[in-house]
Amino acid sequence: MSGATRSGSQPTRVVHVIDQLRPGGPLQAVIGFCRQQPIAATSQHRIISLLPPDARAVAAAEQTRIAVAARPNQAMLQQEFTAADIVHVHFWNNPTIHAWMSTNLPAIRVLIWCHVNGQHGPHVLPRSLFAFADMVAATSPASLELPAFQEASADRKLAIPAGADFSRLAGLRPQPLDSFIVGYLGSLDFTKLHPEAISLSAAVRVATARFHFCGDGNDRPLIEQQARQHGISERCHFPGHQEDIAPLLAAFTVFGYPLRPQNTCTSELALQEAMYAGIPPVVFPHGGLDTLVRHGTTGLVAAQPAEYSQAIEWLFHHPAERKRLGEQAAREAREQFGGTRTAARMAAAYEQLLMLPKRRRRLHPLTGAAALLASLDGHDDSPLAASLAGREPAASAADEAISLLGPVWRHVILQYRVAYPSDPHLRLWSGLVLAAKRPALAATELRASEQLGITAGRIDRHRARLRRQQHA
């Protein structure tokens, strides 16, 4: 078998596996390259959402003639994979994908496409990916420097940055308004957004500045509350998630994209789209964003939080430079980004995969806390291993460290807790990471962990801390 098609004229059947299909992110990347040549002419695509998908995401996929199988049963999965020429797995650390990789699968060809940079826990790129896949593709060049990629043979690793679907910006024309609008487009969740995003906006000394935070997420209510606390709620606009982003971008003067330190970002489609629209971005370098935005050429890169606010002020006072940066950003986006380039690289990867025989594979099945530990591939920033071992005094120190973990770790721990509700350590860790913000729910988790086998003495220490917090 050779070329990007099977049996001469038959298109290559590609089945995408994703934990839960949602708007944005991987879906937009798939739509972006499926509309482009040569992928569009040589392959047919189908998405399997292992968990119930978002209805908006299903509609967006089907508008591009990508069928979606929503939470199919085991028999249906076997049929899908047997018929597939290539199984394209969209990866970040979540229990659903890891559990699927441990199931009894038929003979398949597998490409894993990593949607996190893997530089920081818990979203590492473990060596088990190479044990499972025929080929692993990074979306960030920085991922190629990680141990798992460095140890892999050259024919099994490559970089395929995700490309934005610029066709949905066709006809976009800037609509200059009297206000100076700093726009953000993406998740309103502190697993991605900088925790000081609102205070940094409030520090911008431009009276006419308005801040549009377009998107949705778990922390949207808190972000709106912070806007009120900083006295800028009347200058902030929260329109929620919007599929039609062209009118949003048309109103932006500057693209303010302050992501948190140690973020998981890779190709950042929203940033690509803003640059394509000629909107000069202001970013932090975290996660390799300084490789997407060239400081002083296609935007401004702030090394420190205060520099972010100052950069926005500078753009307000230097309209000619703002125009130059926007024009260069648009030029570079057309030359370097977009679904066309992703499609060409993906077609080459598919062609290489089609030369390989299908084979059976299965990772050693793990569940509960052991599954979460295995997903970290020995990542040394995590106190979870010492907590799981339970040897004192190391276990108590580890529990204390877990209670201080940030929102990215909290999100992943809670995902594993939902997947494995009978695991005592996942219930313990959930109680620890919830204690600061959800003390009542934390108490419930701690009680469940004791009922499942964690010693009462260990739990009592955490209960005492919760009581002190509640009475502080």
Query: Model-level pTM?
Result: 0.91
CB 312 within 8 A of CB 206: yes
Structural domain of 38: 5-165+339-354
Which structure tokens are listed for 455? 């010693």
Is the domain of 138 the same as that of 103? yes
Single-letter code of the amino acid located at 412: V
Q: Which of 243, 255, 245, 253 is nearest to 175 (CA)?
A: 253
Residue 1 pLDDT class (50, 70, 90 cuts): very low
CB atoms within 10 A of CB 67: 13
- Asked if residue 186 is part of any domain, the answer here is yes
pLDDT tens across 393-451, in order? 999 999 999 999 999 999 999 999 999 999 999 999 999 999 988 999 999 999 999 99
| Percent above pLDDT 70 for the chain | 97
Q: Is the pLDDT of residue 83 over 70?
A: yes
Q: What mean pLDDT is predicted for residues 285-293?
A: 90
CB-side neighbour CA atoms (13 Å) of 387: 25
pLDDT of the residue at 5 = 46
Q: Which of 428, 431, 433 is nearest to 455 (CA)?
A: 428
CB 215 within 8 A of CB 188: yes
List Cβ neighbours of 14 (8 Å cut-off, separation of 6 or more). Answer: 43, 44, 45, 46, 84, 85, 86, 87, 88, 350
Is the domain of 182 the same as that of 145? no
Is the domain of 184 the same as that of 331? yes
Is the domain of 303 the same as that of 249? yes
Q: Which of 286, 364, 388 is nearest to 102 (CA)?
A: 364
Is the domain of 206 the same as that of 93? no
- Asked if residue 361 is part of any domain, the answer here is no
pLDDT tens across 182-235, in order? 999 999 999 999 999 999 999 999 999 999 999 999 999 999 999 999 999 999
pLDDT tens across 163-184, in order? 998 988 988 887 766 789 999 9
Count structural domains, the chain.
3
Q: Is the pLDDT of residue 267 over 50?
A: yes
Residues in the chain: 472
Is the domain of 153 the same as that of 187? no
- Asked if residue 288 is part of any domain, the answer here is yes
- Asked if residue 359 is part of any domain, the answer here is no
Residue 159 pLDDT class (50, 70, 90 cuts): very high
Is the domain of 266 the same as that of 148? no
